[in-house]
Structure 1
Amino acid sequence: MNICVYCASSQKIDQKYVELAASVGTRLAERGHTLVSGGATVSCMGAVTRAARAAGGRTVGVIPQALVDIEIADRDSDELIVTADMRERKGVMDARSDAFLVLPGGIGTLEELFEIWTARVLGLHDRPLVILDPWGLYRPLRRLIEDMYEAGFTRPDVFDAIAWTSTLDEAFAALEGSTVRVTPTAEEIGESLPNP
């Protein structure tokens, strides 16, 4: 499969997030998948691509020209696609991917998550969408979605459209499975989450 990984490009984050991204890249390559990423060399984005290549995997980077101009493009990618802007970048990443994995990240990662999640809820695709969140960064987001559902702003299938996982094994099982599993609520998971 071509697996799109959405993750952080921020360089002011705890090293554990960068290590998680590297673990994802290694596992992805070991399982014979191709990585589709944002095409940058920095932070988690760079870690996932370097690890995938080090483990023998193929990498496809998609990056807007503005980021190429500031010299953060991953020129070692097996395929580097330069787009006119961020919107085109997301469209190319979407079109090139069979599944989507969301790692801890910032507002850019959230934007990518919400676009793919909304499209799945609307029936525009049926590809797996998985969040890997070992340390619970997205727990408030999950609670927000649950509150929005209770208030009538979302449909029940918003929960069926995504898998929330906390380990690499869970994440890849959900990515490679034929259906997206529904995991327990944030409250059922509890405050203590395992390391990946």
Structure 2
Amino acid sequence: MTQKTPKRVAIYCGAKHGNNPAFEEGAKALASWLAQQGIAVVYGGGRNGLMGVIADAALEAGGEVIGVMPDNMYIRETAHQGLTRLEHADSMHDRKARMADLADAFIALPGGIGTLDELIEIWCWSGIGDHDKPVICFDINEFWQPFFDLLQHVQETGFSHHQKPMLRVKNTDELAALFALK
């Protein structure tokens, strides 16, 4: 299944680095590749963890990076000050909606509960027809395998609504094929 090449991709990922160096390496590779393709990054606006890695790598490669951060998180977290643009949102709900408006596709990297929350919500929005944009897990070192096992369990136990599939790629070559760039 190929998708239309996006102009902007929302990235969901951790505000921590995780305990595997492959997570940071994969994030850098993805962000650099997106910038080289002329695809802008939309993300949560922080400078810590994989969020900061994504922003820095895309900027280093000459890409556009738009951060969207709720005001209450701006106070608690360290906002990335070197972005192309940093937007403020009134709440996390407004942040999610703004990121959805700005993006043509959504990619989840390794992360915590916040990453999972954003991934599930945007996928659910697709399933109920709020958007028709691809939702993709960038599966570094099979980080997302337990999640896909759970999705299979939901399907097998009869609770799936047969929404659009959650897509999964393991590297930028697979992403290029998905976006018909190869």
Measured in 1, the distance between the counterparts of 2:174 and 2:95 equals: 28
Structure 2: 5+ residue stretches without partners: 1-6
Q: Highest relative contact order (Cα 8 Å, sep 6+), 1 or 2? A: 2
Q: Within 2, Cα distance between the matches of 1:121 and 1:47? A: 30
Instruction: Tell me by how many angstroms 1:152 deviates.
Output: 1.2
- TM-score norm. by structure 1 comes to 0.83
Q: Which runs of 4+ in 1 moved over 4 A?
A: none
Partner residue in 2 for 1:169: 173
* 2:64 is the alignment partner of 1:58: yes
- Alignment: residue pair count: 175
Given candidates 129, 133, 137, the residue that maps to 1:123 is 129
- 5+ residue gaps, structure 1, are 179-196
Equivalent in the alignment of 1:77: 83
Task: Give the CA deviation at 1:119.
Answer: 1.2
Secondary structure, aligned partner of 1:101: strand
Q: 1:114 aligns with which of 101, 105, 120?
A: 120
Q: 1:101 and 2:102 equivalent?
A: no
1:97 CA displacement = 0.5
- Once the two structures are overlaid, the 10-residue window that deviates more, 22-31 or 65-74, is 65-74
1:141 equivalenced with 2:140 (yes/no): no
2: CA distance between counterparts of 1:40 and 1:154?
A: 34
Q: Per-residue displacement from partner, 1:7-34 (whole Å, max 9, x unpaired)? A: 1112453232122111111000000011
Counterpart in 1 of 2:4?
none
Measured in 2, the distance between the counterparts of 1:132 and 1:109 equals: 12
Distance 2:165 2:132 in 1: 8
- TM-score normalized with structure 2 length: 0.89
Give percent identity, aligned residues only.
32
Could you say what the CA RMSD is over the residues aligned between the two structures, in angstroms?
1.7
